[in-house]
Structure 1
Amino acid sequence: MAFECSGKSEWPELVGARGEVAERVIERQNRTVNAVIVKEGSFVTADFRCDRVRVWVNKHGVVVRPPRTG
């Protein structure tokens, strides 16, 4: 099943950035989403949501995966 979400949906340029910085950039570039910082290895739900972007960070708070809508 394909989803059509509005606005920017992926931020590969934020890999390596601080999680808090990435969160602000994402929410500024797409006002329809809520960016949520998640520590690497955490369990999360598998549901897809156009209004959520998970920002995966390592133990140092650095983004380790390209944030994307879902």
Structure 2
Amino acid sequence: MYPSCESGICTDPKCCSGGYKFMWPNTLGMYGEQAKRIIEKDNPFVTAVIVHRGEGVTDDFCCNRVWVYVDEHGKVAYRVPIVG
């Protein structure tokens, strides 16, 4: 699971970044667990949450969360992981 949502005054990913990365197009096609490790290393203020096809997510905006959508093979697909 992940920590409670934190956003402060931010309403977009770049605002949340604090100088750290806020999007990871380089992880498309990687296995979800590998992408999660990279994301959490690149930005120590976020928790990457792996989402399997068909699973629902909340629609709130959180500076400390990155949804990592994976396909049936466990690889990052559908969307570029981004803070929010």
Q: Same fold (TM over 0.5)?
A: yes
Give per-residue Cα distances to partners, 1:41-63, cap 9 Å, x unaligned.
22111000000001000111000
Give per-residue Cα distances to partners, 1:13-44, cap 9 Å, x unaligned.
10000000000000000000000000122211
Runs of 4+ in 1 over 2 A off after TM superposition: none
Letter in 1 for 2:55: S
After TM superposition, the score normalised by the length of structure 2 is 0.78
For residues 32 and 56 of structure 2, what CA distance do their matches in structure 1 show? 18
Structure 2 gaps of 5+ residues are 1-9
Structure 1 gaps of 5+ residues are none
1:53 aligns with 2:66: yes
CA RMSD of aligned residues (A): 1.3
Aligned-pair identity (%): 49
Aligned residues: 70
Where does residue 66 of structure 1 map in the other structure? Answer: 80
Rg larger for: 2
Letter in 1 for 2:36: E
Where does residue 5 of structure 1 map in the other structure? Answer: 16
For residues 11 and 48 of structure 2, what CA distance do their matches in structure 1 show? 21
More strand, by proportion: 1
SS of 1:27 mapped into structure 2: helix
